[in-house]
Amino acid sequence: MGDLRLFALLSGPEYYYRYPNGDEVYNVSAMFVGRYRGEPLRLDPEETKELRFFALNDLPPLMGPVNQKALEMLKQALAQGDL
């Protein structure tokens, strides 16, 4: 990965989520933008089971509401030429 820069910091009441088991969280998400320079992805088996890149229009459907809002922000910034 090349240089990273902060794109957005998302928090607030709209990021509240209650899980089916009753657990409650207020999510705080930091979004970074970077440029991939071709280095192989390095997996840390204690933290991650799998690493892959996805095109924005080909993301897995398992994203929750917080990720959906972040994705919309990213798509809007790309469409406006801000990235």
Amino acid identity for residue 82 in this structure: D
Cα angle 20, 31, 59 (rounded to 5 degrees) comes to 65
Instruction: Indicate yes or no: pTM above 0.75.
Output: no
Does residue 72 belong to any structural domain of this protein?
A: yes
pLDDT tens string 18-43? 999 999 999 898 888 888 788 888 88
Does residue 10 belong to any structural domain of this protein?
A: yes
Does residue 43 belong to any structural domain of this protein?
A: no
Does residue 44 belong to any structural domain of this protein?
A: no
End-to-end alpha carbon distance in the chain: 16
The torsion angle over the Cα atoms of residues 55, 68, 36 and 39, rounded to 10 degrees, is -90
Q: Considering its fold, how many domains does the chain have in total?
A: 1
| Domain span holding position 56 | 4-36+51-79
Structure tokens at 17: 């989520």
- % of the chain at pLDDT higher than 90: 14
Query: Is the distance from CB of 6 to CB of 31 less than 8 angstroms?
Result: yes
